[in-house]
Every structure is written in C-alpha cells, then in structure tokens.
Amino acid sequence: MLMIRLSRVGKTKQPSYRLIISEKTKDPWGDYLELLGFFNPLTNPPTVTLKAERIIYWISKGAQLSDTAHNLLVDNGVLKTEKRKIKHSKVRVAEEGSTPAPVAKAPEAKAPEEKKS
C-alpha cells in the first residue's frame, strides 16, 4: 500500500520536512517514489510548498495519507475535508467501561509553627 507522509530532514533542532510517497512498510528516511512537497515549520509563517496535482493523482490511485499529512493538506486547501484527530503515543486512551486509575497525591508540607513568648 502506498502512503503519503512526512519525512524529517534538516539538522539537529532545526527540522524541516518533505512530503513523500512511498510504500507503507519502508522507513520514511529511505528512498521514496516521488517528492510531493516541502514543509518548514521554523519560518514565520511556516513555509509550505506542495505539488497539489500530483498529490491528487496519487490519492486517486489509492494512496493513503498519514494523519499529519492529511491535516497539512486540509490547512493548505488541497483537500476539502475536516481535519483528523491525531493520536499521541504518550496519551493512553481509556477503554470504554473502565475506571480511571487513581492519581497519587504528594503529601502536603506543614508550615512551621511560631512560638509565642
């Protein structure tokens, strides 16, 4: 299956991204079929360069979009759909019917008492 997704390029702490199409099983830093655009979030406003005709062509051929790539295309007017909610790996979604785990609270520190003389 073909996947349109972002591939991070750039130096350490200076990210920029390529919008590429490649096989879903290949890593995004390897070779790709075609470069579809570029995204630099560090500029103000962020720089986005997209090949809209090629993106629509690949979607018509059955290519899937990653959530982030989908939202980027919606923001730039290439797609006319709603944004997707992105699932973060650090946030665990509670299953339906389960109760949330209790949160441990730190003990409160008492203020020192003043002596009366």
Q: What SS3 class is residue 94?
A: coil
Looking at CATH, the fold of the domain delimited by 2-75 is given as S16 Ribosomal Protein; Chain: A; (3.30.1320)
Q: Which of the four pLDDT bands, split at 50, 70 and 90, describes residue 111?
A: low
- Judging by DSSP bridges, how do beta strands 34-40 and 47-50 pair with one another? antiparallel
Whether omega before 45 lies within 30 degrees of 0, making that bond cis, reads: yes
Position 103 pLDDT exceeds 70? no
Q: Which of the four pLDDT bands, split at 50, 70 and 90, describes residue 87?
A: confident
CB atoms within 10 A of CB 90: 4
Q: Bridge-partner residues for 38, per DSSP?
A: 18, 49
Q: What percent of the chain lies above the pLDDT cut of 70?
A: 75
- pTM summary value: 0.71
Position 86 pLDDT exceeds 80? yes
The 10s digit of each residue's pLDDT in 6-39 is 999 999 999 999 999 999 999 888 899 999 999 9
Q: Which of the four pLDDT bands, split at 50, 70 and 90, describes residue 83?
A: very high
- Cβ atoms 36, 4 nearer than 8 A: yes
